[in-house]
Amino acid sequence: MESTHDAGTITLRELARRCGAKLDGDGEVVINRIASLESAGAGAIAFLSNPKYKSQLATTRASAVIVAPRDAMATALPKLITADPYATYARIAAIFHPRSVPAPGVHPTAVIAASARVAPTASVAAHVVVGERTTIGERVQLHAGTVIGDDCSLGDDAILYSSVVVYDRALIGPRTIIHSGAVIGADGFGMAEQDGRWLKIPQVGRVVVGADVEIGANTTIDRGALGDTVIEDDVKLDNQIQIGHNCRIGAHTAIAGCTGIAGSTVIGRNCKIGGAAMISAHLERADGTVISASTGVFNSIETPGVYTGAFPALPHRDWQHVASITRRLRALLGRIAALERKIRQEGE
């Protein structure tokens, strides 16, 4: 869909300068919004990042486009040429849709502990609670209903949207964004079984979140049992992710929604994990590892690469046939091994 938000106008030349892209064509074309190739009209700039949409370059009504060098000759429209059109689109989208910044100050219904320190440039909305000895940095935004426990620290320019809960002693780095409903620092799932009953193990560690992290709505990150659960710089977490106690997520890693990561697992730097992946406890992932969606991981991964454990979708009757064959594989392998032994014996 084409955006209906009008954030003013800007020339294509100025967009090229601000985004570090190469200008090709009329730099005085005026742009006032960003849109898809299919829906764009006059005044819009569109982008091509997925090759399967290349045919739309010939029919788009955009005033300008963002393309990779390999696609520059496919359209006569004024264009920005860049090695990564999608990243350039992201930068331009941020220009036309800057994040709103609430006025600094503390709403009269907020409850701020006497020993807490809130920077004068911070914005604290209605019904926010800030615990004892907690520090809120410059230009931090705490939206309505957010609760911050005791002895926490929020770095400069952090944004916590409505109804985020941060338990005691958590550290949140600068420029980190936490979306509504996320819970940071709840007890990990630490239990000891004795005589058929469960004994709760006190969870005495912290959650430490680095700089420039984004945590999606309703994602939960458990505190460490003894040490800390650590989310390193520039990690991007989608909605409804569960991260168990004492996990470490390496810098620049991105994890899609509904993924579950069991306790004491270490995810390397620059990893990508698809939605609904399930990762067992006490494992390690090498830097640069890619885990496909819905993959179950039960062993450590020492060599970077793409790992997939999900079976592609099939028509139901075909799936039943494949499942039937799979159930018989162990017996078939035994019969093959027996035949091989018989052939070897007859050859002797």
Whether 1 shows a pLDDT value over 60: the answer reads no
Active site amino acids: 245
HSE at residue 318, side-chain half, CA atoms within 13 A, is 5
Which stretch of 40-44, 186-190, 324-328 has the lowest confidence by average pLDDT?
324-328
Whether 157 shows a pLDDT value over 60: the answer reads yes
Write down the pLDDT at residue 4: 39
The CB density around residue 315, as the number of other CB atoms within 10 Å, is: 8
For the segment 310-338, what is each residue's pLDDT rounded down to a tens digit? 888 899 999 999 999 989 999 999 999 99
Write down the pLDDT at residue 310: 83
Please provide the average confidence, as pLDDT, over all residues in the chain.
95
H or E, element range at 93 = helix 85-96
For the segment 114-131, what is each residue's pLDDT rounded down to a tens digit? 999 999 999 999 999 999
pTM of the entire predicted model: 0.90
SS3 category, 67: strand
Whether 7 shows a pLDDT value over 80: the answer reads no
Residue range 77-93: average pLDDT?
A: 97
80, 21 in Cβ contact below 8 A? yes
Non-local CB neighbours of 9 within 8 Å, separated by 6+ positions: 30, 31, 32, 43
Percent of the chain with pLDDT over 90: 93
Question: Which conformational region is residue 94 in: left (phi greater than 0), alpha (psi within -120 to 50 degrees), or beta?
Answer: alpha
For the segment 56-69, what is each residue's pLDDT rounded down to a tens digit? 999 999 999 999 99
Per DSSP, the residues of 268-309 read -TT-EE-TT-EE-SS-EE-TT-EE-TT-EE-S-B-S-SEE--
Write down the pLDDT at residue 27: 97
Residue range 71-93: average pLDDT?
A: 96
Residue range 181-193: average pLDDT?
A: 97
CATH 2.160.10.10 fits 105-307, yes or no: yes
Which residues of 14-77 form beta strands (DSSP E)?
22-24, 30-31, 33-34, 44-47, 64-67
Give the model's confidence band at 3: pLDDT under 50 very low, under 70 low, under 90 confident, else very high. Answer: very low
Q: Domain residue spans in the chain?
A: 10-96, 105-307, 316-347
Per DSSP, the residues of 140-166 read -EE-TT-EE-TT-EE-TT-EE-TT-EE
Q: The domain 10-96: what is its CATH number?
A: 3.40.1390.10
Write down the pLDDT at residue 2: 40
Whether 222 shows a pLDDT value over 90: the answer reads yes
- How far is the C-alpha of 60 from the C-alpha of 121, rounded, in Å? 45
For the segment 226-283, what is each residue's pLDDT rounded down to a tens digit? 999 999 999 999 999 999 999 999 999 999 999 999 999 999 999 999 999 999 999 9
Write down the pLDDT at residue 295: 96
Whether 172 shows a pLDDT value over 90: the answer reads yes
